[in-house]
Chains A and B, each alone.
Chain A
């Protein structure tokens, strides 16, 4: 039997590539003048709203809403307070003490050992401290180098040149290392000693149908024993920083004066101090304020993304689209890629434009950080990313509902209403809305960590992406199952 060659068509296979689909969808988007207009409107509205906010920002923005900023020149994120009882420490030396007792003035009240280059405000430091409710931690500038659970009360700082190592112990003999940091510019005679601080307490009170958030200063108090400095500098202890606040029971806080009351005759030091060192949580997030103009531009983007789907249903073009490309899931994917990419580019223009223009028009009331800072760049690019993901989310909702009015209303409600309704609700309820709804995505605009931060930048963006992904999958499922 002769071998039969199976028939093969000589016609080359038509290109069924995803790139063709992308091109087709891009052409659809590009050629509708109204849609391009909506895109331009989104950019213009965003920039306009941002500039308006920047121009309208009064001087109180600089003054601080919650508490008073300890030192304006340190940046919005850093504070340097608390009481520091110190003596000079040589290049190779150590400091040991036991926190015998600490008042629970605040969950994050701090009592422990600190070494710093000088007593100047904002000087580089490293500190190992005990807190009433969060165990022991070793911190330097804004970062936490190491931490330990509650229990060890013996603290030790070892200095070797510019590197500082912190250790903890439960009994003073068996030490565990927490971490090491290098302090830039640590002089041969560094200042080391005992530190006591206590951050401001946030008090939320409901009155007149809204919640008032005020910060109340607290005063920390702790006693130390077994204080040993090696080598012994043979110099008196000197105090630095406010020992307490003015008011009843306040003590004078002359700086650099030996205080007999703090170093008791029996070797027990009792130190009181107010203020905190490290991250300052009441700073104004000026970048976020300016970039929030994106809410206006987002309206146009939502309408555009919804119409990108529903207008095809309205006019029946969707049947042609699906006939040309029967794999419907891919059509949806192509639409999502096109609308996402286009709005991302438009968002970049809008966000950078807003930031640069706002910087130009803002007066003394509003100080914007440099665009080159990591969190600021994240906020600006993140704004564009939020627009893109909201567009994809709108697309998914539109493909699910197939009705323009319904889809636009649903998207706008879930993105905006948490902020609208939340104004009358208690803060705790509002925080949950800001965590669970797609509005969480706007968290990526944060550039400073505040006491009222509901969700981290990336986590919030993740929530929004999750919503977009789920609606897209559901829309794809509905497309495959149902009629067009």
Chain B
């Protein structure tokens, strides 16, 4: 465990990737809140704008760097052959994976908290200027508010679960390019295809199953009945994906030759 922490700390890549994650979450959030204005709605009070969700839109971009970080945590060792040394030092192989999972979790947790707090602070600063005032029914996002707290915590957990999913896929695929492509494809391309399925029943079903759309439903703070899946249930879907990938990775790590 300590060894994994040192590996993460002493290579330059992860620090950059974590910084990029924070920057992406905050920057895209800022761009989104700045581009939305009540004048685009029929009436300011009828906007039904989920200001918290809008502020946290950056998670959609930030997850990409998280994926790269988590995939590299395992595939880099395969690429350099370092994995043989690691596994020789820790003969109970699955413990290596758990140690990596814990370290990645802690790192992404830290970056996620920073990013989410930054994005919410940006939203608080920008949104009232665009007409999303308390008078119009849009109190500024605040962590003391239950749904907003759920969205904030949920977004951090979302990023962590994406990281664990990527770590699992990386362990299974063992190849950086393949793992990054597979994970990003699962996250980004599946929702794009779901959008094209016109049949409403299938559309809803697939939206509940796609890891990104399901997982990000945790960001909703209002009009929950319009969601394809409940906030925590959606995050649960993503967690199921992550758990499956990690377990499969652990089994393969035990049984395959490195």
Cα–Cα, bound, A412→B50 (Å): 28
Q: Does B152 contact A (CB under 8 A)?
A: no
Bitwise interface map of B from 79 to 114 toward A, beta carbon under 8 Å scored 1, else 0: 100000000000000000000000000000000000
Cα–Cα, bound, A35→B28 (Å): 35
By a CB distance below 8 angstroms, the chain A residues around B49 are 206, 208-209
Are A209 and B199 in contact, CB atoms less than 8 angstroms apart?
no
Cα–Cα, bound, A425→B40 (Å): 11
By a CB distance below 8 angstroms, the chain A residues around B37 are 426
Bitwise interface map of A from 406 to 421 toward B, beta carbon under 8 Å scored 1, else 0: 1011001100110111
Are A426 and B199 in contact, CB atoms less than 8 angstroms apart?
no
Q: In the complex where A209-B53, A424-B54, A429-B35 touch, is A417 in contact with B47 (Cβ < 8 A)?
A: no
By a CB distance below 8 angstroms, the chain B residues around A49 are 193
Bitwise interface map of B from 124 to 143 toward A, beta carbon under 8 Å scored 1, else 0: 00000000000000000000
Are B202 and A56 in contact, CB atoms less than 8 angstroms apart?
yes
- Residues 297 to 321 of chain A near chain B (Cβ within 8 Å): 299-300, 302-303, 306-307, 310, 314
- How distant is A429 from chain B, measured CB to nearest CB, in Å? 4
- How distant is B213 from chain A, measured CB to nearest CB, in Å? 10
Q: Does A405 contact B (CB under 8 A)?
A: yes
Q: Does B188 contact A (CB under 8 A)?
A: yes
Are B68 and A409 in contact, CB atoms less than 8 angstroms apart?
yes
> Which chain A residue lies CB-closest to B226?
A208
Are B35 and A302 in contact, CB atoms less than 8 angstroms apart?
no
Q: Does A53 contact B (CB under 8 A)?
A: yes
> Which chain B residue lies CB-closest to A404?
B177
Q: In the complex where A206-B40, A209-B48, A420-B60 touch, is A314 in contact with B79 (Cβ < 8 A)?
A: yes
> Which chain A residue lies CB-closest to B182?
A299
By a CB distance below 8 angstroms, the chain A residues around B181 are 299-300, 302-303, 408, 412
- How distant is A405 from chain B, measured CB to nearest CB, in Å? 5
Are B35 and A292 in contact, CB atoms less than 8 angstroms apart?
no
Question: Which of A56, A296, A408, A429 is B198 in contact with, Cβ under 8 Å?
Answer: A56
Q: Does B251 contact A (CB under 8 A)?
A: no
Question: Which of B72, B178, B191, B197 is A303 in contact with, Cβ under 8 Å?
Answer: B178
By a CB distance below 8 angstroms, the chain B residues around A206 are 36, 40-41, 47, 49
Cα–Cα, bound, A377→B106 (Å): 52
Are B176 and A404 in contact, CB atoms less than 8 angstroms apart?
yes
- How distant is A60 from chain B, measured CB to nearest CB, in Å? 6
> How many residues of A are in contact with the other chain, CB < 8 A?
46
Number of A-B contacts (CB under 8 A): 131
Q: State the main secondary structure of chain B at its contact with A.
A: helix
By a CB distance below 8 angstroms, the chain A residues around B60 are 417, 420-421
Question: Which of B36, B46, B177, B223 is A408 in contact with, Cβ under 8 Å?
Answer: B177
Q: Does A85 contact B (CB under 8 A)?
A: no
Are B198 and A405 in contact, CB atoms less than 8 angstroms apart?
no
Are B42 and A421 in contact, CB atoms less than 8 angstroms apart?
no
By a CB distance below 8 angstroms, the chain B residues around A307 are 177
Cα–Cα, bound, A160→B35 (Å): 55
Are A425 and B189 in contact, CB atoms less than 8 angstroms apart?
no
Q: In the complex where A52-B193, A57-B198, A419-B192 touch, is A425 in contact with B35 (Cβ < 8 A)?
A: yes
Q: Does A365 contact B (CB under 8 A)?
A: yes
Are B193 and A293 in contact, CB atoms less than 8 angstroms apart?
yes
Q: Does A58 contact B (CB under 8 A)?
A: yes
Bitwise interface map of B from 29 to 66 toward A, beta carbon under 8 Å scored 1, else 0: 00110011100111000111110011001001100110
Cα–Cα, bound, A53→B32 (Å): 30
Are B198 and A365 in contact, CB atoms less than 8 angstroms apart?
yes
Cα–Cα, bound, A419→B35 (Å): 16
Cα–Cα, bound, A417→B71 (Å): 20
Cα–Cα, bound, A325→B61 (Å): 40
By a CB distance below 8 angstroms, the chain B residues around A53 are 193, 196-197
By a CB distance below 8 angstroms, the chain A residues around B196 are 53, 56, 289, 292
Q: Does A27 contact B (CB under 8 A)?
A: no
Are B40 and A211 in contact, CB atoms less than 8 angstroms apart?
yes
Are A424 and B57 in contact, CB atoms less than 8 angstroms apart?
yes
Q: Does A204 contact B (CB under 8 A)?
A: yes
Q: Does A118 contact B (CB under 8 A)?
A: no
Cα–Cα, bound, A307→B50 (Å): 41
Q: In the complex where A207-B48, A419-B192 touch, is A409 in contact with B54 (Cβ < 8 A)?
A: no
By a CB distance below 8 angstroms, the chain B residues around A289 are 196
Cα–Cα, bound, A307→B28 (Å): 29
Cα–Cα, bound, A296→B199 (Å): 20
Q: Does B180 contact A (CB under 8 A)?
A: yes
- How distant is B60 from chain A, measured CB to nearest CB, in Å? 6
Q: Does B184 contact A (CB under 8 A)?
A: yes
Cα–Cα, bound, A49→B178 (Å): 19
Q: Does B237 contact A (CB under 8 A)?
A: no
Q: Does B200 contact A (CB under 8 A)?
A: yes
Bitwise interface map of A from 39 to 66 toward B, beta carbon under 8 Å scored 1, else 0: 0000000000100110011101100000
Q: Does A121 contact B (CB under 8 A)?
A: no
Q: Does B67 contact A (CB under 8 A)?
A: yes
Are B199 and A409 in contact, CB atoms less than 8 angstroms apart?
no
By a CB distance below 8 angstroms, the chain A residues around B35 are 425-426, 429
- Residues 191 to 245 of chain B near chain A (Cβ within 8 Å): 191-193, 195-200, 202, 223, 226
Q: Does A295 contact B (CB under 8 A)?
A: yes
Q: Which of B47, B48, B79, B177 has the most CB of A within 10 A?
A: B177
Q: Does A205 contact B (CB under 8 A)?
A: yes
Q: Does B258 contact A (CB under 8 A)?
A: no
- How distant is B211 from chain A, measured CB to nearest CB, in Å? 13
By a CB distance below 8 angstroms, the chain B residues around A423 are 195
Cα–Cα, bound, A27→B65 (Å): 34
Cα–Cα, bound, A429→B61 (Å): 16
Q: Which 4 A-B pairs have the closest CB atoms?
A: A56-B197, A206-B40, A58-B199, A303-B181
Q: Which residues of A does B touch, CB under 8 Å?
A: 49, 52-53, 56-58, 60-61, 204-209, 211, 289, 292-293, 295-296, 299-300, 302-303, 306-307, 310, 314, 365, 404-406, 408-409, 412-413, 416-417, 419-421, 423-426, 429
Q: Which residues of B does A touch, CB under 8 Å?
A: 28, 31-32, 35-37, 40-42, 46-50, 53-54, 57, 60-61, 64-65, 67-68, 71-72, 75, 79, 176-178, 180-181, 184-185, 188-189, 191-193, 195-200, 202, 223, 226
Given contacts A300-B181, A420-B60, 7 further A-B contacts (CB under 8 A): A58-B200, A206-B36, A207-B41, A208-B48, A289-B196, A405-B71, A424-B57
